[in-house]
Amino acid sequence: MLVITILFITWPWFFVCLGGKIIKSPKIDIFSLNSTNNDTTEIHTICRITSDELIADAQSIVTRVSTKILDERFDLFEKKLNEIKDLVLQMNLQSLSVNLNDRKDKFIVKKNYEYLKTPRQFEIRKFNDTVNEILISNEYFKVYTYFWIIENMKNKLSNWRTGYSQRSNTFYIKQAGYGMYMKITPKYFPDGTIFIAVGLTKSHQDNKLSWPFILKLRIEILDHSPEELLRIDRSSRLWDPLTVCPTYFWQQPAIIGHPDNLECVGLSIPRDILHTGSKYLWNNSLYIKLIVYL
C-alpha cells in the first residue's frame, strides 16, 4: 500500500504541491524521504519554497480577498446609509411642511391680533389697574388707573332698549382699598344719550377704610387715532365727592343686601359720535378709562 503524505507549509510560504509537480515556482527544493516497514513503503515529500515572486503572489491573493470583503461591507454600509439619509430627508420634509403650516397659522393669528390691537394698547397694558404719577400743569399727581373695554357696541346701540345697562367687574383701588364699578347705559334717554357712570361697591377692607369716600375721579373715552398728537379723548370733569352728590352716595356700602351704592356721577355723550368708523370705537369696542386721584 502506497501512502503519499503531502505537507503544506502555510503563510508566509503559499504553494501547491501535487503529485510531485510544483506549480508556478521558479525555485523549489524537494526532499523525498523513503522508509520501509514490512509491506508498506512510506514516501514523505517536502516542498520548500523560497520564491519571492510566489510570496508576492500570495500576498496579492490575500489582499484581493480582503479588499473584496471590505468592498462588500462598504457597499452594504453605503446602502444602509443611503436608506437612513432618505428616511431623515422624508422626516425633514414632513417637519418642514408642518412648520410651514404652523407658521402660516401663526402669521394669520398674529395678523388678526395686530388688527385687534388698538393704538392705545401699550398704554392700556402698562397702566391698567396700577398706581402711577401723571403730570398736570407742571405738577405730579399720584393716580390709580383702570380700563374697561365694552365689546359689541353696535348691537347695544341698535338693539338694546332704553334704560338697559351693563356693569363692569368689581375692581379695587390700589393703595386705597375701596371697591368700585362702572356702568354703561347705551340708551340712557329716549333721545339716545349714552351714559357711563361710576360708583362704590362693597370691599373686603371696608371696615378699615375712612368714610365717606373723598377721592377725586374722572372718566375718559379713548380716542384710537394712530397719531398720538391728534387724539382727543372724551373726558368728564374732575369730580370731587365733597362737592357733588349727597354724602349718601359716598358712604360705606351695605354689609347685607345689594353690594353696590347707587352711582351719582357719570359722563354723557351723544350716540352719533360712535358712528361706523368713529375714532372712539375700535373693533366694535368702546374703551373707558377711570382715573382716581390718591
Through-space distance between the first and last CA atoms of the chain, rounded to whole angstroms: 131
- Cell numbers placing 215: 377721592
Task: State the DSSP code for 128.
Answer: T
Q: pLDDT truncated to tens, each residue of the chain (294 aa)?
A: 444 444 434 444 343 444 444 444 445 444 444 545 555 444 444 445 555 555 555 555 555 655 667 667 766 766 776 677 666 666 655 555 455 455 544 544 444 445 568 999 999 999 999 999 998 888 999 999 999 999 999 999 999 999 999 999 999 999 999 999 999 999 988 777 999 999 999 999 999 999 999 999 999 999 999 999 999 999 999 999 999 999 999 999 998 889 999 999 999 999 999 988 899 999 999 999 999 999
Q: Which of 55, 57, 54, 56 is nearest to 25 (CA)?
A: 54
Residue keyed to cell 349714552: 194
Q: Which of 281, 238, 287 is nearest to 123 (CA)?
A: 287
Q: Cα separation of 218 and 241, whole Å?
A: 11
Domain 121-293 grouped into CATH 2.40.10.10: no
Determine contact, residues 52/13, Cβ cutoff 8 Å. Answer: no
Bridging pattern class, strands 265-270 and 281-282:
unpaired
Determine contact, residues 1/40, Cβ cutoff 8 Å. Answer: yes
**Which DSSP string do the residues of 254-280 spell out, in sequence order?**
PSSS--BPPP-EEEEEEGGGG-TT-TT
Domain boundaries, the chain: 2-50, 121-293
Task: State the DSSP code for 242.
Answer: T
- Peptide bond preceding 226 in cis form (omega within 30 of 0): no
Nearest-5° angle of CA 108, CA 114, CA 120?
170
- Cell numbers placing 129: 389697574
Q: Is 53 helix (H, G, I), strand (E, B) or coil?
A: helix
Q: Cα separation of 26 and 249, whole Å?
A: 129
